[in-house]
Structure 1
Amino acid sequence: MKLLSWNVRGLGKPRARSRLHATLRDVRPSVIFLMETKLQAGEMLRVRQRWGFQNGIEVGSRGRSGGLCLAWRVDCDVTLRSYSERHIDVIISRDAEERCWRFTGFYGAPEENLRAESWALLRQLNDSPEIPWMVLGDFNEILYTREKQGGRLRLQRQMDAFQTAIDDCGLSDIGYSGRWFTWEKGKFSLTNIRERLDRGIANGGWWEMFPLFSLSHLEDSLSDHCPLLLNTGSDSNGPRQAHFRFEAAWLVEDSCEQEVIKLWNESVGLVPDRLACVNRGLNQWFRRLRCSQKISTAMLKERLEMLVEQDPTDEVLGDIMDTRLALNLEIDKTELYWEQRARANWLRHGDQNSAFFHRFASERKRRNRITSLNSMQGIRGEKELEIHTIARDYFTDIFSSSHPVDFSRILEGIRPRHSDE
């Protein structure tokens, strides 16, 4: 699930709405939390519905300041707990099998003298510590002096008050990837100020529930705040190029051999080029096949349900037997597909597949995934191409000799010998 949090600094102008809509199309979040919309509730309702978010909660602005919106798509189950001018608190779940968790969109007071009220609100919201809890938004405060560059120094007591409130609630900062600051002011170096005012904080239950999460600071020119994209499944690097792997399920398909022959005859070039063509063709063929198998399985189940409701004549019983055989064959193909991915023989022929097994079969891939690497110069790379480059440079360096040795002096002390033969 992806959640986008953003202090948009006003959506009254069509250009601002257009820019935000473009960002939503790019990252496709399931849930969005917007701050400082500067719109009344009814107007914000119409705007987010045009973006495809039919469900949501709006807190109208006061004049030309404030305004919150939490909106979600139809595939999310969201229950409202509470809201105010500074927060929207909900319970989220995606499906019946997913454990519920709590999300609070938080907007800290911009005024320094009202900051204590924000921390009091945060403590007040800490009423269910047993529920996994994530708080995301613009807190209008930093935790450490290193989180600010330029301008006057932040008072230590202000940062301590924020840290104490977080500690009292059993929350901790979840970190980030991307640029270090989330807010910027000033176009010249002498007046430029950068601060990390936006962040995510979560309790231990949420960390355990989503061990592969990621929080990214995105780039955008709509607001002086950058968008925060929370991904609970850690797929921030996007799709990766799949390696060729032989599928055991191919062997039970009668058309497999003919497909290989056809792809080989249609390919041109050297053997590696022709193998690459066969690889791509087989993967495309199998994806089409998997899709048709799902449709075929559903149709066979419907036909079987219809047949068993009819009178048990010889013809009907024969059709039932044929349908069951065909359905079992399709199920066996699916079982074989998931058994190969498990890398452990958990399935026995004829066993029932389960959603739990599907999750387990993919766990190894998630656990072994590399999301970032640091180069030898200390530069962090998170994109797939950057990770590949850093890994290649590292192994090239360790397997290359920078100071070749003249071995002739070493071999001078060795007397050559050879046998009579």
Structure 2
Amino acid sequence: MVDMLNLLIWNCRGAANKGVASVIRDMWSRYKLSLVIILEPRISGAQASKTIRQWGFKHSIRKEAVAFSGGIWLLWELDDLKVDVLELDEQVIHCNLRVGEDECLFSAVYASLSEHRRHDLWNLLSRLAGDIVVTWMLAGDFNDIKTPLEQVGGGRVNETRCKHFNNWIQDCNLIDVGAKGPFYTWKGPKWDGLERVYKRLDRCLCNVLWQEKFDKAEIQVVPRLCLDHHPLLVNLYGMEEGRRGRHFRYEAAWQMHEEFEQILTNSWKGEDEAHVKLTELQKTLTRWNKEVFGKIEGRKRRLLNRLHGIQRSVERRINPFLVNLEIKLEEELLHTLRQEEVLWFQKSRGRWLEEGDRNTRYYHMKTLCRRRRNKISMLKRDDGTWADEEVEISATFQRFYHKLFEEDRGVSMWTLTKQRWGMVNEAKLRNVGRDPNGDEIRRVFFQMGGFKAPGSDGYPAVFYQQNWRVVGRSMI
């Protein structure tokens, strides 16, 4: 969806409100929006049509407000963007978004304040979810929270209601995409005797297929201006990243290749220190991975295509050579699938792996969710403003740590304490001062989590554990 990059979803609580038009036009220009979803415009008919024209949109789909309440608008300018409505309801517009040959399902949600009607919406979306086998995203004001942590202030949270909302999300096999920026998306009223209430009512949900296809997508909570809801900005392809050299990371799947042991043995010859050998091995493995090992997905696809061709040929005429080649390719494909599983397991930093249980998709999704959770696309500066460009984020980190390590901390107060510590006897003192022996060093390496985060050299503990026979002597 090359042309459909940015979507804006906003419960503006009245499209005719003062300032709404200026905000829409500003965000349209600033974020280069492809599609704008307006919730609760509270106007309809001729007034709605006039407002949309004044905002500058050529195309629109509307579910009209009823008696100045509710309503959902989809607004866009590009002729290339095709929006096919599949379900038009007071609480959701469910449609197919298409640009050229690329498409995905999208549901613009404005859930009712009425619990009974909101359950009608959950039932409708559950019915739709049961038939969906393509990418699907839902975004809008769900008027519910998943956990008490999504509310601060106001009255007591209805935890039963939270549970029902969570159950619905899980039953539909949906994922909360999360968002960058302010956590609470709605500022409520302040009642007597209570603090002002803030809630996370606006969110984006998606199915697994959407998460896999748009794994770099980012949701940003845009600053709220005057009104009580924050707009949500959806960038399907994420923040543009600068070209940076990729750090070396040892892949455990390399160990399963027939050439790996010879590469390691050749790199470990000689009397150089371990860190020199590891550096040279990095260079060799990086080159070998590019030229020989390659991308597993491409290798898997080639093997499947060759198998498909052979199996079609064998159906027409038995050929002993092709029969033997089929067996060989099947074995190679199974080996490749196992490598793929190990690759994604390592990237997901999972804690268990049952032999023979190829659950690659689980590890893939775990990795994508962790990557999305850990990615920093906005960072708050000391003055309270936000850095959202990669260069600015990097500079903000550098300034923080430069200031942190430059500060003069003075005399540490623990040196002034009157606390007296017990004496260490001579035998223990000698033991503390001695060098660790080979068995102790080996034991430390094998007690580490094999797939935990690697050191600065890119080698996790599993590298040493699997290759101790070759590298162990250099580590002692």
TM-score, normalized by the shorter chain, greater than 0.5: yes
TM-score range, shorter chain: 0.5 to 0.7
Q: Indicate conservation of the 8 Å contact 1:108/1:140, yes or no.
A: yes
* Deviation at residue 239 of structure 1 after TM alignment: 8.9
Q: Does 1:95 align with 2:100?
A: yes
Q: Indicate conservation of the 8 Å contact 1:44/1:69, yes or no.
A: no
- Among 77, 84, 93, the alignment partner of 1:79 is 84
- Among 40, 57, 62, the alignment partner of 1:53 is 57
Q: Does 1:19 align with 2:26?
A: no
* Counterpart-to-counterpart distance in 1, 2:400 and 2:60: 48
Classify 1:184/1:14 alpha carbon distance in 2 versus 1 (closer, same or farther; 3 Å): closer
Classify 1:86/1:224 alpha carbon distance in 2 versus 1 (closer, same or farther; 3 Å): same
Classify 1:54/1:239 alpha carbon distance in 2 versus 1 (closer, same or farther; 3 Å): farther
* Counterpart-to-counterpart distance in 2, 1:148 and 1:72: 33
Aligned residue pairs, count: 276
Name the structure 1 match of 2:434: none
Q: Summarize deviations over 1:357-410 as a string: whole Å, max 9, x none.
A: xxxxxxxxxx9x974487999x99752324322135447867999899xxxxxx
Name the structure 2 match of 1:108: 111
Alignment of 1:293-308 (within 5 A): none
Q: What is the SS of the residue equivalent to 1:81?
A: strand
Name the structure 2 match of 1:303: none
Q: Indicate conservation of the 8 Å contact 1:8/1:222, yes or no.
A: no
* Counterpart-to-counterpart distance in 2, 1:104 and 1:155: 26
Q: Summarize deviations over 1:136-183 as a string: whole Å, max 9, x none.
A: 000000001000001112211101111111111110100000001010
* Counterpart-to-counterpart distance in 2, 1:173 and 1:153: 24
Classify 1:372/1:22 alpha carbon distance in 2 versus 1 (closer, same or farther; 3 Å): closer
- Among 122, 125, 132, the alignment partner of 2:125 is 122
Q: Which amino acid aligns with 1:202?
A: C
* Deviation at residue 230 of structure 1 after TM alignment: 0.5
Q: Which amino acid aligns with 2:202?
A: D
* Counterpart-to-counterpart distance in 2, 1:8 and 1:376: 28
Q: Which amino acid aligns with 2:28?
A: L
* Counterpart-to-counterpart distance in 1, 2:91 and 2:388: 35
* Deviation at residue 79 of structure 1 after TM alignment: 1.6
* Counterpart-to-counterpart distance in 1, 2:10 and 2:176: 17
Name the structure 2 match of 1:38: 42
Q: Indicate conservation of the 8 Å contact 1:134/1:200, yes or no.
A: yes
Q: What is the SS of the residue equivalent to 1:178?
A: coil
Q: Which amino acid aligns with 2:213?
A: M
Name the structure 2 match of 1:208: 212
Alignment of 1:329-368 (within 5 A): none
Name the structure 2 match of 1:146: 149
* Deviation at residue 185 of structure 1 after TM alignment: 1.9
Q: Indicate conservation of the 8 Å contact 1:32/1:70, yes or no.
A: yes
Q: Indicate conservation of the 8 Å contact 2:59/2:76, yes or no.
A: yes
Q: Indicate conservation of the 8 Å contact 2:379/2:393, yes or no.
A: no
Q: Indicate conservation of the 8 Å contact 1:54/1:72, yes or no.
A: yes
Q: Does 1:387 align with 2:390?
A: no
Q: What is the SS of the residue equivalent to 1:129?
A: coil
Q: Which amino acid aligns with 1:174?
A: V
Q: Indicate conservation of the 8 Å contact 2:147/2:162, yes or no.
A: yes
* Counterpart-to-counterpart distance in 1, 2:381 and 2:59: 48
Name the structure 2 match of 1:251: none
Q: Indicate conservation of the 8 Å contact 1:381/1:387, yes or no.
A: no
Q: Indicate conservation of the 8 Å contact 2:14/2:43, yes or no.
A: yes
Name the structure 2 match of 1:221: 225
Name the structure 2 match of 1:156: 159
Name the structure 1 match of 2:355: none
Percent of matched pairs sharing the same residue: 26
* Counterpart-to-counterpart distance in 2, 1:173 and 1:164: 13
Q: Summarize deviations over 1:169-221 as a string: whole Å, max 9, x none.
A: 11010000000101002369944110000000000000011011000111122
Q: Indicate conservation of the 8 Å contact 2:155/2:194, yes or no.
A: no
Q: What is the SS of the residue equivalent to 1:136?
A: strand
* Counterpart-to-counterpart distance in 2, 1:374 and 1:134: 26
Q: Summarize deviations over 1:57-79 as a string: whole Å, max 9, x none.
A: 11111112111101222231222
* Counterpart-to-counterpart distance in 2, 1:43 and 1:225: 23
Q: CA RMSD in A?
A: 3.4
Q: Does 1:231 align with 2:238?
A: no
TM (norm. structure 1) is 0.58
Q: What is the SS of the residue equivalent to 2:60?
A: strand
Moved more, 216-225 or 186-195: 186-195
Q: What is the SS of the residue equivalent to 2:140?
A: strand
Classify 1:229/1:376 alpha carbon distance in 2 versus 1 (closer, same or farther; 3 Å): closer
- Among 4, 7, 10, the alignment partner of 2:11 is 7
Name the structure 2 match of 1:409: none
* Deviation at residue 87 of structure 1 after TM alignment: 0.6
